[in-house]
């Protein structure tokens, strides 16, 4: 991503474009944890109900997607060794999403399937369309088509497919656009987003960032191309079987290809870790690497749902699956990477114009003590809430939600501490 210096940052997108995404994402994470605490009872219900849909979309769009969009507008020029094609499209992407996501989440929470939900879905689609166009035109103009560019471009395509299909599902509530009711298509919509958008994007960018932050020269383009092909083939196979409604007992079998891809990526990260020059890992890298290990949990849930569990218990495991993805894997990597990227962006904004003179290191812009406490509360909350879902324990659920909320408050505090850093005289 960044070269680890101000020089690398000076070639990237303006902080005025990027920082609003970080702010919106931080507030969304906090609100997501508030809603989780207020609605722990959703664990005892079917996963298709208003509060669950609201929390899921707030975490998927407001938290995960918004911070990734912000980071990508900053990272893309570095990865493709070019420039972002349009700051205007980036700003429009933020504005449409910042208006549309609250409308969408509120529509789900109140289960107002009319104009509120529909307008929110349309605005989210406009936001993603702006991002999608910006990514493709930037890559085309750079004429750099390496494996990382393919990961980012294809992930953007899957994101557009995900939100457009979501738009159809929203309108399908009130008028029959699709052959079946919207519930029947939830797994298609969800996995286009999870595997096509989040997984492809995180692996594509992470395969560049993790070795860089470890100061490791390890890379394997062949391995990355295999990962790229396996994830896309697995997702395409699942969509094909599910859409054609053939071999229903094998709907999820193509995800074995995704599992193989994840094993390869785990091996990639291990090899990069093994030959690293920086032997002492900072706390941000520890929690980022932990996120890779946390992928085991949703995969285990998916295997249980496919092959071993049915009936009422299935709904409970599906909830655990979603929680492990949005509050586990995705949240862990964002918590770590926020404080590897945001301090560089703010440092560049505040100090890049200075010629010489003493300036603080980027890592001094945020509080390491707050980060460690946030990480401890986050991990405690995640374990407690996941255990609460597994055994339907109300005390565990409430305790876990309180810890997660406390970690979100510390995260927001540290983000704003970084954003409002006063220059050293």
**Average pLDDT for 307-328:** 82
Q: pLDDT of 146-183, one tens digit each? A: 898 899 999 999 999 999 999 999 998 888 888 877 77
5 pLDDT exceeds 50? no
Q: How crowded is the C-beta side of 269, counted as CA atoms within 13 Å?
A: 23
394 pLDDT exceeds 70? yes
Q: Which residues lie closer than 8 Å to 38 by C-beta, 6 or more apart? A: none
| Average pLDDT across the chain, whole number | 88
φ and ψ of 74, to 5 deg? -85, -40
6 pLDDT exceeds 50? no
Q: pLDDT of 237-285, one tens digit each? A: 989 888 887 666 666 778 889 989 999 998 998 898 888 887 788 888 8
CA 307 centroid distance within chain: 27
**For residue 156, what are the CA distances in angstroms to 182, 248, 388, 398?**
24, 29, 35, 36
* Helix or strand run (H / E) with residue 162: helix 147-172
Q: Are 233 and 254 in contact (CB under 8 A)?
A: yes
Q: How crowded is the C-beta side of 97, counted as CA atoms within 13 Å?
A: 32
In this structure, which CATH number among 1.10.150.120, 3.10.450.50, 3.90.1150.10, 1.20.210.10 belongs to the domain 6-352+359-419?
1.20.210.10
1 pLDDT exceeds 70? no
Q: Is 355 helix (H, G, I), strand (E, B) or coil?
A: coil
In this prediction, residue 385 carries a pLDDT of: 95
Q: What is the pTM assigned to this prediction?
A: 0.91
How many residues are there in the chain?
425
Alpha carbons 385 and 34: distance in angstroms, whole number: 14
175 burial level (CB within 10 Å; 0-12, 13-18, 19+): exposed
Alpha carbons 266 and 139: distance in angstroms, whole number: 27
Domains of the chain, residue spans: 6-352+359-419
DSSP state letters, 394-405: HHHHHHHHHHHH
Show the CA angle centred on residue 113, arms to residues 89 and 155, nearest 5°: 35
In this prediction, residue 249 carries a pLDDT of: 64
Q: Are 362 and 347 in contact (CB under 8 A)?
A: yes
Q: Look at residues 106, 124, 126, 131 and name the one whose alpha carbon lies nearest to residue 116.
A: 106
Alpha carbons 113 and 81: distance in angstroms, whole number: 44
The percentage of residues in the chain with a pLDDT greater than 70, rounded to a whole number, is 93
Structure tokens at 257: 């290809």
**Average pLDDT for 124-149:** 91
């Amino acid at each position: 991503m960044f070269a680890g210096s101000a020089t690398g940052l000076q070639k990237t997108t303006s902080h005025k474009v990027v920082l609003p995404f970080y702010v919106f994402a931080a507030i969304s994470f906090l609100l997501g944890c508030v809603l989780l605490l207020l609605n722990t009872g959703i664990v005892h219900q079917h996963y298709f109900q208003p509060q669950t849909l609201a929390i899921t979309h707030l975490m998927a769009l407001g938290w995960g997607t918004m911070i990734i969009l912000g980071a990508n507008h900053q990272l893309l020029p570095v990865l493709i060794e070019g420039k972002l094609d349009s700051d205007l499209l980036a700003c429009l992407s933020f504005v449409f999403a910042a208006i549309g996501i609250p409308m969408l989440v509120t529509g789900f929470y109140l289960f107002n399937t009319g104009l509120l939900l529909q307008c929110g879905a349309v605005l989210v689609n406009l936001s993603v369309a702006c991002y999608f166009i910006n990514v493709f035109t930037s890559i085309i103009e750079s004429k750099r088509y390496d494996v990382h560019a393919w990961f980012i471009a294809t992930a953007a395509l899957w994101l557009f497919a995900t939100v457009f299909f979501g738009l159809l599902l929203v309108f399908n509530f009130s008028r029959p656009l699709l052959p079946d009711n919207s519930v029947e298509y939830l797994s298609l919509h969800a996995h286009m987003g999870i595997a096509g958008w989040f997984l492809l994007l995180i692996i594509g960018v992470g395969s560049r960032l993790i070795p860089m932050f470890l100061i490791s020269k390890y890379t394997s383009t062949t391995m990355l191309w295999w990962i790229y092909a396996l994830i896309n083939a697995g997702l395409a196979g699942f969509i094909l079987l599910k859409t054609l409604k053939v071999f229903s007992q094998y709907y999820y079998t193509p995800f074995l290809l995704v599992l193989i891809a994840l094993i390869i990526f785990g091996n990639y990260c291990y090899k990069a870790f093994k030959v690293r020059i920086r032997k002492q890992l900072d706390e941000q890298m520890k929690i980022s690497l932990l996120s890779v290990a946390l992928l085991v949990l949703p995969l285990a849930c998916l295997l249980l749902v496919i092959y071993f569990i049915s009936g009422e218990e299935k709904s409970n495991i599906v909830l655990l699956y979603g929680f492990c993805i949005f509050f586990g894997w995705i949240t862990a990597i964002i918590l770590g990477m926020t404080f590897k990227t945001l301090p560089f962006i703010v440092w560049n904004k505040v100090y890049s114009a200075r010629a010489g003179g003493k300036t603080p290191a980027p890592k001094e812009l945020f509080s390491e003590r707050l980060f460690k406490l946030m990480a401890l509360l986050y991990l405690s909350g995640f374990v407690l809430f996941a255990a609460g879902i597994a055994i339907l324990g109300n005390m565990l659920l409430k305790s876990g939600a309180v810890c997660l909320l406390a970690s979100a408050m510390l995260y927001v505090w540290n983000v704003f501490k970084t954003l409002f850093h006063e220059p050293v005289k």
